[in-house]
């Protein structure tokens, strides 16, 4: 009897195994690859990351308002800093679930296929993603991030450690990338040009070195010395700027996509006034003329109430310029102008033996050239008293001109304004932060429920989870 039962169980086990095999085969899509292809993954992950960086939540509806480059003419709550803990989920959720997870997979595939250049490119893009996250939130999951099988609830690393980790990753990427190595495909930023990726990696290292310079001068100088010792090159022309070029719908610029259905945003009065005071020829690029006569450039004051903005009116205020509203307008990740401003600051701080004033002038010229503005108008602009480089206050000169040059790049413009403290911006009396401008994003509310203890540890270490809690890099 016992043997008969065992026999029946054996038959059932074989039958179940056979059924499972048949079901597994049924569930295989014959038209889809079983293993992800790094080129397709690189394209998709890059675009998802850049869309989030350049899109509504993290750019138009927050950082561009904080930097006072854009303002709201309707539904002005965000311009008065009225946010909830669900307001800043997009950068976090996309950054971790899509960007970092995707770039980690490309690194894995690069190793598996013996193609170090896929690994190097993914390391650079992952580093940029982590940089966006820590610049915005402060302490974030880094060392355990994207390792879901090992760490379901990753710890938050201190911002200082995140910056240092990213610098190590970028140094590794720089060494890994080899223009003479295996070719890659799917690169929508540099069209698979590995030499350009090496320059971009070094340029990001310089950006981060300056980000930490007011907190750790020795480390900042060490990073720049390492780049120099490696014989590393930086971006060397506008054609080498890191940008994602969009196309017509449905692959259009997120700014253009937003304006197809909404009309909430205008250029800020703060930057219009600044550009007017300097007779800056970039104003017609950055802003559109008003619809109503007399057609001019009219900014909305940041922090306006709905009634105040309505009193100015949609047709009497300036949308962003046609350049930025075009479906094919590029999203700028790192411009040549920014690189030159960074080199100017490195020279002013004594990190490199170059002429800070000359690099500053080159940076302004590069910004103008970015929008096809050249000739005597540029040189006349540079000679103005309000533009002339100040050796005594390089932060003011570089900070104000860099802020103008970074127009549209909300997250970077906001980060640099916090770091350099120029231009000196003032919050409207209508805002809700007692005269302060936000200096960080608050963590997504889901972190409190899904990663509660590590969230509490981060808040205990960094400070209250408020828009006004200064981050480690923000020294002054």
Antiparallel, parallel or unpaired: β 70-72 and 265-267: antiparallel
Token representation of residue 359: 């690099």
- Which stretches does DSSP call E strand in 3-51? none
Tell me the three state secondary structure of residue 333. Answer: strand
**For position 34, what pLDDT does the model report?**
56
Tell me the three state secondary structure of residue 37. Answer: coil
Token representation of residue 292: 């109503």
Question: Where would I find the H helices in 184-238?
Answer: 194-211, 217-229
**For position 35, what pLDDT does the model report?**
65
Q: What are phi and psi of 82, to 5 degrees?
A: -95, 100
Q: Is the separation of the CB atoms in 403 and 337 below 8 Å?
A: no
Dihedral sign computed on CA atoms, order 454, 458, 460, 465: negative
**For position 13, what pLDDT does the model report?**
36
Q: Identify which of 85, 88, 134, 170 has the alpha carbon closest to the alpha carbon of residue 472.
A: 134
Cis amide linkage into residue 363, ω under 30° from 0: no
Task: Report the alpha-carbon distance of residue 264 to residue 76 in Å, rounded.
Answer: 8
**For position 3, what pLDDT does the model report?**
42
**For position 445, what pLDDT does the model report?**
95
C-alpha pair distances (Å), 341 with each of 109, 281, 347, 358: 36, 19, 10, 10
DSSP conformation letters of 164-192: HHHHHHHHHHHHH--TTS------TTTTT
- Which stretches does DSSP call E strand in 126-169? none
Task: Report the alpha-carbon distance of residue 202 to residue 230 in Å, rounded.
Answer: 10
Q: Is the separation of the CB atoms in 80 and 303 below 8 Å?
A: yes
Q: What is the mean pLDDT of each run of 10 residues along the chain (476 residues)?
A: 38 37 43 73 98 97 98 98 96 97 97 97 98 98 91 96 98 98 98 98 98 98 97 96 96 96 96 98 98 96 97 97 97 98 98 98 98 96 97 98 98 98 98 97 96 97 98 97
**CB-based contacts of 259: which residues, under 8 Å, 6+ apart?**
265, 319, 325
**For position 117, what pLDDT does the model report?**
98
Q: What are phi and psi of 113, to 5 degrees?
A: -95, 0
51, 57, 62, 63: CA torsion to nearest 10 = -20
Q: Is the separation of the CB atoms in 94 and 133 below 8 Å?
A: no
Tell me the three state secondary structure of residue 52. Answer: helix
């Amino acid at each position: 009897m016992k043997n008969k039962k065992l026999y029946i169980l054996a038959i059932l086990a074989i039958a179940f195994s056979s059924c499972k095999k048949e079901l597994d085969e049924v569930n295989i899509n014959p038209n889809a690859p079983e293993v992800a292809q790094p080129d397709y993954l690189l394209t998709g992950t890059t675009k998802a990351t850049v869309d989030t960086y350049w899109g509504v939540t993290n750019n138009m509806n927050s950082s561009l308002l904080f930097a006072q480059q854009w303002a709201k003419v309707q539904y002005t709550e965000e311009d008065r800093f009225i946010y909830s803990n669900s307001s800043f989920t997009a950068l976090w959720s996309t950054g971790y679930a899509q960007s970092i997870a995707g770039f980690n997979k490309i690194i894995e595939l690069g190793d598996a296929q013996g193609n170090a250049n896929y690994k190097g490119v993914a390391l650079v893009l992952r580093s940029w993603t982590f940089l966006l996250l820590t610049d915005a939130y402060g302490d974030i999951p880094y060392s355990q991030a994207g390792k879901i099988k090992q760490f379901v609830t990753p710890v938050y690393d201190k911002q200082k450690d995140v910056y240092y980790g990213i610098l190590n990753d970028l140094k590794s990427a720089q060494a890994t990338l080899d223009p003479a190595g295996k070719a890659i495909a799917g690169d929508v930023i540099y069209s698979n040009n590995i030499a350009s990726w090496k320059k971009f990696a070094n340029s990001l290292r310089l950006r981060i070195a300056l980000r930490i310079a007011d907190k750790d001068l020795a480390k900042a100088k060490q990073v720049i010395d390492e780049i120099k010792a490696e014989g590393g090159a930086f971006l060397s022309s506008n054609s080498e700027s890191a940008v994602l070029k969009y196309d017509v719908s449905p692959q259009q610029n997120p700014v253009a996509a937003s304006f197809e259905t909404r009309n909430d945003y205008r250029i800020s009065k703060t930057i219009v006034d600044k550009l007017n005071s300097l007779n800056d020829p970039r104003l017609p690029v950055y802003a559109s003329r008003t619809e109503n006569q007399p057609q001019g450039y009219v900014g909305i004051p940041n922090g306006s109430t709905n009634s105040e903005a309505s009193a100015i009116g949609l047709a009497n205020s300036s949308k962003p310029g046609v350049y930025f509203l075009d479906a094919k307008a590029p999203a700028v990740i790192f411009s040549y102008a920014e690189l030159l401003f960074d080199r100017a600051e490195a020279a002013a701080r004594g990190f490199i033996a170059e002429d800070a004033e000359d690099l500053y002038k080159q940076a302004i010229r590069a910004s103008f050239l970015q929008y096809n503005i050249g000739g005597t108008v540029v040189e006349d602009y540079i000679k103005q008293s309000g533009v002339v480089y100040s050796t005594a206050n390089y932060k003011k000169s570089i900070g104000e001109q860099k802020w103008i040059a970074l127009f549209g790049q909300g997250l970077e413009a906001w980060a640099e304004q916090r770091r350099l403290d120029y231009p000196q911006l003032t919050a409207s009396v209508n805002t809700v932060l007692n005269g302060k401008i936000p200096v960080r994003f608050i963590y997504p509310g889901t972190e409190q429920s899904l990663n509660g203890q590590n969230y509490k540890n981060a808040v205990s270490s960094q400070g209250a989870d408020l828009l006004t809690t200064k981050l480690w890099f923000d020294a002054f």
